[in-house]
């Protein structure tokens, strides 16, 4: 019953700095952090005081409103600081890495004989639950719901994205264990969707107990949101859970070794990185040692994640919980003279999905070095149809965005807010001539929906 989907809308943004397929161990970080902001809507309740010793897999904080959901320390060390912002909101929990880091096996867990509830309890206790996210609303899954399906994308199509076929090559056992565990959590199917454009690694191709689908097309073909919409769309009242492919392997690793080990392979990418390649790091690791000496210019933006949905971090910042990628691009905080670089320029050096710049006509397959300049000021929506061209859903993107901006709950429900996550609108935000922060508006809309309708 596998499905094959072709999408025609979308956009591949060609950037300089694709990671070469070389993998190294990253230098050991001095600190790791967990940022509650990575888990939208979670209000952390600390379980330790500053200065306490913590061990690998020990819970650091839990969700105040759903105490079963725990967030575990990825390392042995000391809880160094709880960074707080306005109204004492916790921004970041920093753990200094101390002592021996032992990830050796404690013995496999016999998950084959467990039922869904037992697996769920194990995952919650081990701090694995935050890897499971739910649609609608795009938040950490509520363990009390039953999903109608679980979706896993076997590739990432966003700009400069890591190649999962390379990253998970040879991790067949961990990945398969993860799939087996996840399939106990749903009464429906587990969907694994492969990229139709390239042959998949055996890790994915030979996966068992799941429905393997194929999707052809440009970004956002690799987004689970796109895949869900075309394979098994969400209607009001239904839940679908999604797990990132690397996180499936992390879950599987726990059940095979009995130890929480959130190590992942990230791609260090972007035009300002010397020799972009892959590194093995632990989730939340401090990146200052890794980035030292690899950034080629002064004024850069370091992004944990990809350029469309990632988070801006400091040069000595920490990797996000879910991110498989770090991107470094130039900052665009300079005035750009109208005729050479500004709005009247020929535009051979700028990438655009419109056809107003020469690059759209004569650019060929050129890769671009893009900075963070907005290339214009914010305006009301004027141009129509441009969002539709990069939004492969049977949903009207501008109408939905407008409903979200005006907090029109009925409008959002009718127009399909339950099927989308902010990341699905990342390309819309990118192409928007009026420079509106559409992902933000969609998130606002989702927050209202969660409060009023869930």
Binding residues for other proteins restricted to 414-433, rule: CB under 8 A = 414-416, 422, 426-427, 429-433
- If binding is defined by CB under 8 A, does position 357 make contact with other proteins? yes
Smallest separation, CB 361 to other proteins (Å): 9
In the window 38-97, what residues touch other proteins (CB under 8 A)? none
The DSSP line for 407-433 is: T-HHHHHHHTGGG--GGGGHHHHHH-T
- If binding is defined by CB under 8 A, does position 406 make contact with other proteins? no
Q: Quick check: 329 and 372 in contact, CB under 8 A?
A: yes
Which region among 53-61, 112-120, 121-129, 348-356 touches other proteins (by CB under 8 A)?
348-356
286 vs 352, beta carbon nearer other proteins:
352
- If binding is defined by CB under 8 A, does position 343 make contact with other proteins? yes
CA-to-CA distance for 156 and 108, rounded, in angstroms?
30
Residues in the chain: 454
Q: What distance, in Å, lies between the first and last C-alpha atoms of the chain?
A: 32
In the window 204-243, what residues touch other proteins (CB under 8 A)? 233, 235
Among 51, 100, 187, 380, binds other proteins (CB under 8 A): 380
Among 30, 336, 367, 407, binds other proteins (CB under 8 A): 336
Which region among 39-47, 149-157, 252-260, 377-385 touches other proteins (by CB under 8 A)?
377-385
Q: How many CB atoms lie within 10 A of CB 296?
A: 14
CA-to-CA distance for 429 and 451, rounded, in angstroms?
25
Smallest separation, CB 239 to other proteins (Å): 15
Among 117, 206, 394, 452, binds other proteins (CB under 8 A): 394
Among 221, 370, 420, 446, binds other proteins (CB under 8 A): 370
Smallest separation, CB 132 to other proteins (Å): 24
The DSSP line for 57-110 is: T-EEEEETTEEEEEEE-SSSEEEEEEEE-GGG-EEEEEEEE-S-----------
Buried b / exposed e over 214-239, threshold 16 CB at 10 Å, is bbebbbbbbbbbbbbbbbbebeeebb
Q: Quick check: 449 and 409 in contact, CB under 8 A?
A: yes
23 vs 336, beta carbon nearer other proteins:
336
Q: Quick check: 436 and 387 in contact, CB under 8 A?
A: no
Q: For tokens 């639950």, name the residue.
A: 129
DSSP 8-state class, residue 198: S
Among 437, 444, 447, 453, binds other proteins (CB under 8 A): 437
Residue 327 pairs with which residues in a beta bridge? 269, 303
- If binding is defined by CB under 8 A, does position 356 make contact with other proteins? yes
105 vs 235, beta carbon nearer other proteins:
235
Among 98, 331, 408, 444, binds other proteins (CB under 8 A): 331
Is the Cα dihedral 11, 17, 22, 25 positive or negative? negative
- If binding is defined by CB under 8 A, does position 338 make contact with other proteins? yes
Sheet of 44-46, strands arranged across: 44-46, 59-63, 66-72
58 vs 440, beta carbon nearer other proteins:
440
Q: Quick check: 221 and 151 in contact, CB under 8 A?
A: no
Q: Quick check: 155 and 183 in contact, CB under 8 A?
A: no
Among 66, 186, 288, 353, binds other proteins (CB under 8 A): 353
- If binding is defined by CB under 8 A, does position 408 make contact with other proteins? no
311 vs 316, beta carbon nearer other proteins:
311
260 vs 321, beta carbon nearer other proteins:
321
Among 55, 197, 274, 312, binds other proteins (CB under 8 A): 312
- Tokens of residue 446, six digits: 């989702």
- If binding is defined by CB under 8 A, does position 200 make contact with other proteins? no
- If binding is defined by CB under 8 A, does position 186 make contact with other proteins? no
CA-to-CA distance for 436 and 136, rounded, in angstroms?
23
Compute the CA torsion angle 37, 41, 47, 52 (nearest 10 deg).
0
Among 51, 335, 364, 365, binds other proteins (CB under 8 A): 335
- If binding is defined by CB under 8 A, does position 187 make contact with other proteins? no
Smallest separation, CB 182 to other proteins (Å): 23
In the window 99-158, what residues touch other proteins (CB under 8 A)? none
Count Cβ atoms within 10 A of the Cβ of residue 114 and give its class: 0-12 exposed, 13-18 middle, 19 or more buried.
middle
Smallest separation, CB 138 to other proteins (Å): 14
166 vs 381, beta carbon nearer other proteins:
381
Smallest separation, CB 13 to other proteins (Å): 7
334 vs 406, beta carbon nearer other proteins:
334
Please give the size of the binding site for other proteins, defined by CB under 8 A. 77
């Amino acid at each position: 019953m596998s499905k094959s989907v072709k999408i025609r809308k979308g956009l591949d943004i060609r950037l300089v700095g694709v990671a070469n397929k070389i993998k190294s161990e990253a230098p050991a970080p001095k600190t790791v952090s967990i940022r509650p902001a990575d888990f939208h809507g979670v209000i952390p309740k600390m379980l330790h005081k500053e200065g306490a010793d913590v061990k690998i897999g020990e819970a650091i904080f839990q969700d105040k409103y759903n105490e079963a959901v725990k967030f575990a320390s990825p390392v042995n060390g000391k809880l160094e600081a709880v960074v707080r912002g306005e109204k004492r909101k916790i921004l970041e929990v920093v753990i200094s890495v101390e002592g021996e880091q032992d990830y050796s096996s404690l013995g496999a867990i016999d998950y084959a004989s467990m039922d869904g509830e037992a697996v769920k309890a194990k995952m919650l206790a081990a701090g694995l639950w935050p890897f499971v996210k739910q649609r609608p609303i795009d938040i950490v899954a509520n363990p009390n719901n039953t999903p109608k399906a679980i979706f896993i994308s076997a590739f990432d199509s966003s700009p400069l994205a890591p190649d999962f076929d390379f990253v998970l090559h040879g991790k067949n056992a961990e990945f398969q264990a993860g799939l087996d565990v996840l399939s106990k959590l749903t009464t429906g199917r587990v969907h694994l969707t492969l990229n139709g454009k390239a042959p998949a690694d055996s890790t994915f191709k030979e996966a068992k107990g799941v429905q393997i689908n194929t999707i052809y097309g440009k970004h956002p073909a690799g987004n689970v949101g796109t895949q869900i919409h075309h394979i098994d769309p969400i209607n009001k009242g239904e839940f679908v859970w999604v797990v990132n492919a690397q996180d499936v392997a992390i879950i599987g690793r726990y059940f095979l070794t009995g130890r929480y080990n959130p190590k992942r392979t990230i791609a260090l990418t972007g035009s300002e990185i010397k020799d972009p390649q892959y590194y093995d790091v632990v989730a939340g690791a401090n990146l200052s040692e890794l980035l030292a000496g690899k950034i080629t210019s002064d004024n850069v933006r370091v992004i944990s994640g990809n350029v469309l949905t990632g988070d801006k971090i400091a040069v000595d910042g920490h990797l996000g919980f879910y991110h498989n990628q770090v991107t470094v691009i130039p900052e665009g905080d300079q005035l750009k003279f109208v005729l050479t670089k500004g709005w009247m320029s020929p535009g051979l050096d700028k990438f655009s999905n419109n056809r107003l710049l020469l690059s759209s006509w004569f650019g060929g397959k050129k890769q671009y070095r893009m900075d963070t300049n907005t290339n214009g000021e914010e305006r009301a929506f004027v141009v129509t149809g441009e969002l539709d061209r990069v939004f492969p859903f049977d949903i009207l993107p501008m109408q939905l965005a407008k409903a979200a901006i005006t907090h029109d709950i009925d409008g959002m429900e009718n127009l399909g807010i339950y099927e989308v996550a902010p990341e699905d609108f990342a390309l819309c935000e990118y192409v928007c001539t009026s420079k509106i922060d559409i992902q933000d508006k969609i998130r606002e809309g989702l927050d209202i929906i969660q409060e009023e309708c869930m």
